[in-house]
């Protein structure tokens, strides 16, 4: 009789145990952690040999610069940021820098145009297609963590590892822009941007709204990156003058010719005032 009662209790408890186990699997690492990324290192240097072959020379920058900007394709071509969102994000960057007098144009290049080739061969193809000399490549890494396990976001940039501390129920986003002179294959400068969103509400609510929030976090990270990019650009201009990290030439009608015309106009105005 006692054995029968025990078996009956186990039989009744089995569905509850099965339900708890299934919930545990549902909210486990495989379900709760979603990561999307694109790797600049993998794109530019698909194997070790290609990296060893690269021997960057001192770049010659022709002012005003013709610049291209594009997102590095994501791994396996599963794009978290669709083409329309990519354009909107890159427009935010373009708006900041197109006003500089030493920039002639900024072409927004869809990441799909980088498909089919890798490394600097792809960049040289874009250079001919868009008539650009310099390209800004934007890579990213985003982890939506809906579990109770804290994880750190690790990302290999062109200059080493970048680490963002993980939190449970969080969205960690990292973007990195590396600016290259296409002809010399030289990295001119780079700038990162990060954002971290930590949600204190229930796990279910975070999952429901995570997609919209993830898109917002990309905007925040890109805006921070744009500020840092402006600082790095200013520092690069200083290093060009003081450290000679690049040679500067002027296109016809820019630089010396433009300055001569400016001073000529000043002389004419001064002469008019004297008369």
Q: Give the pairing of strands 153-157 and 160-164.
A: antiparallel
**Which residues have a Cβ under 8 Å from the Cβ of 177 and sit 6 or more positions away?**
93, 136, 137, 138, 139, 190, 191, 192, 193, 225, 229
Q: What is the mean pLDDT of each run of 10 residues along the chain (275 residues)?
A: 47 42 39 71 79 73 96 70 89 94 95 83 93 96 69 55 62 93 94 86 54 87 96 95 92 62 45 46
| Confidence (pLDDT) at 18 | 40
pTM of the full structure: 0.74
DSSP letter (8 states) at residue 177? E
Answer whether residue 17 is part of any domain: no
C-alpha distances (whole Å) from 211 to each of 17, 115, 176, 205 are 32, 26, 21, 12
Answer whether residue 84 is part of any domain: yes
| Confidence (pLDDT) at 92 | 94
| Confidence (pLDDT) at 228 | 96
| Confidence (pLDDT) at 265 | 46
Answer whether residue 4 is part of any domain: no
Q: Are 205 and 199 in contact (CB under 8 A)?
A: yes
| Confidence (pLDDT) at 172 | 87
Grouping H, G, I as helix, E, B as strand and the rest as coil, residue 267 is helix
Answer whether residue 154 is part of any domain: yes
Answer whether residue 267 is part of any domain: no
Residue 196: exposure state from Cβ atoms within 10 A (0-12, 13-18, ≥19): middle
Number of compact structural domains in the chain:
1
Answer whether residue 3 is part of any domain: no
Answer whether residue 175 is part of any domain: yes
| Confidence (pLDDT) at 37 | 81
Answer whether residue 268 is part of any domain: no
Range of the domain at 212: 24-259
């Amino acid at each position: 009789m006692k054995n029968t009662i025990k078996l009956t209790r186990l039989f009744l408890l089995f569905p509850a145990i099965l339900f708890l186990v299934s919930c545990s699997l549902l909210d486990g690492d495989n379900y709760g952690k979603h990561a999307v990324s694109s790797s600049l290192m993998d794109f530019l240097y698909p194997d070790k040999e290609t990296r060893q072959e690269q021997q960057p020379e001192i770049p010659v920058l022709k002012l005003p610069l013709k610049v291209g900007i594009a997102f590095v394709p994501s791994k396996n071509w599963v794009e978290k940021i669709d083409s329309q969102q990519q354009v909107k994000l890159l427009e935010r960057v373009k708006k900041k820098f197109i006003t500089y007098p030493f920039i002639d144009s900024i072409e927004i290049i869809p990441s799909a145009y980088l498909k089919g080739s890798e490394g600097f061969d792809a960049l040289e193809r874009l250079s001919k297609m868009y008539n650009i000399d310099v390209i800004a490549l934007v890579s990213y890494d985003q982890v939506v963590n809906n579990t109770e396990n804290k994880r750190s976001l690790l990302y290999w940039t062109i200059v080493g590892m970048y680490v963002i501390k993980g939190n449970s129920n969080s969205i960690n986003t990292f973007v990195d822009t590396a600016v290259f002179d296409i002809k010399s294959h030289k990295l001119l400068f780079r700038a990162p941007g990060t954002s971290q969103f930590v949600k204190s509400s229930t796990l279910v609510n975070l999952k429901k709204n995570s997609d919209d929030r993830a898109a917002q976090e990309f905007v925040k990270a890109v805006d921070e990156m744009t500020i840092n990019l402006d600082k790095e650009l200013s520092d690069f201009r200083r290093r060009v003058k003081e450290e000679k990290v690049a040679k500067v030439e002027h296109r016809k009608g820019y630089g010396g010719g433009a300055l001569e015309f400016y001073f000529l106009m000043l002389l004419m105005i001064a002469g008019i005032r004297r008369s």
